[in-house]
Structure 1
Amino acid sequence: MSLVKRDVQSEVDRITKIINDMSASITSATQEMVEKVKALEVTNTAQTYMEDSKTQFQPLVERVQAEAAKLQEQIKPFVTDIEDQFKPLSDMMEQFFQQVVDQTKALLPSQ
């Protein structure tokens, strides 16, 4: 009788251990799943935030680009005018420096 009682107790202990192990595994798996869902939520929230920000800023970016293009078109004639005015001066300076170089070479003793 005592042997049967001991066998039953060891069987109960074994089953209790299996149940405890299963419970720990389920708890661990559940915690893992919760963490993954939280991480996914954070990722989705960040992605949604980025998309919302892009949607909000896109019109502003487009407006700035349009204004920059307009400004560039407005400035273009002035830049062209300045270039036209400085071109003769630039040509004169180039001729002047060439004359200085030529005269300097003329002053050097022949070799």
Structure 2
Amino acid sequence: MKFSLIAAIVLFALAQGSFSQDDTNLDNLSQYFEDLKNKVTQELTELISNQDLANQAQTFLDDRKTQLEPLASQIQDQLRTAAANVEEQIKPLAANVQAQLKPMVDNFQRQMEAILQKLTEQAQAISN
């Protein structure tokens, strides 16, 4: 198809000089290019609408899906195993952090309560 277009362009370039004076030959050349355009359009339309090409593409996609499904299943299994391992390692760590933070949070709460109590007492003293 590309070769036909290149050949037509070369033919047109060669013909331009020798046919420029002759209207009949110029009309023939115009008709040739019109026919060539129509032929290329028709071939492309047939190629695009060709059901065999669509069926081949669908078959290709189905084959790849069939090949990839076991791999996807293996990856899911590996991810489940990895998630379980991470969870097993994080649970004790989270429990340890929570155990260490509880006394700190309790101490912070007591300090805040004491500050709030002092502020309340000072506010009452000022209001009296």
Same fold (TM over 0.5): yes
TM-score (norm 1): 0.56
- Unpaired stretches in structure 2, ≥5 consecutive residues: 1-41
Whether 1:77 aligns to 2:92 is: yes
TM-score (norm 2): 0.50
Which residue of 1 is the match for residue 73 of structure 2?
A: 58
Which structure has the higher relative contact order (CA within 8 Å, separation 6+)?
Answer: 2
Whether 1:110 aligns to 2:94 is: no
Structure 1 residue 87: Cα displacement: 0.9
Amino acid paired to 2:109: E
* Cα distance in structure 1, aligned partners of 2:108 and 2:127: 27
Q: 1:34 to 1:105 in 2, by over 3 A?
A: same
Residue aligned with 1:60, SS: helix
* Cα distance in structure 2, aligned partners of 1:48 and 1:104: 76
Amino acid paired to 1:54: E
* Cα distance in structure 2, aligned partners of 1:33 and 1:85: 69
Structure 1 residue 69: Cα displacement: 0.1
- Unpaired stretches in structure 1, ≥5 consecutive residues: 1-26
Q: Point out the more displaced range, 32-41 or 57-66.
A: 32-41
* Aligned Cα root-mean-square deviation (Å): 2.9
Moved over 6 A (4+): none
* Cα distance in structure 2, aligned partners of 1:98 and 1:51: 65
Aligned sequence identity (%): 16
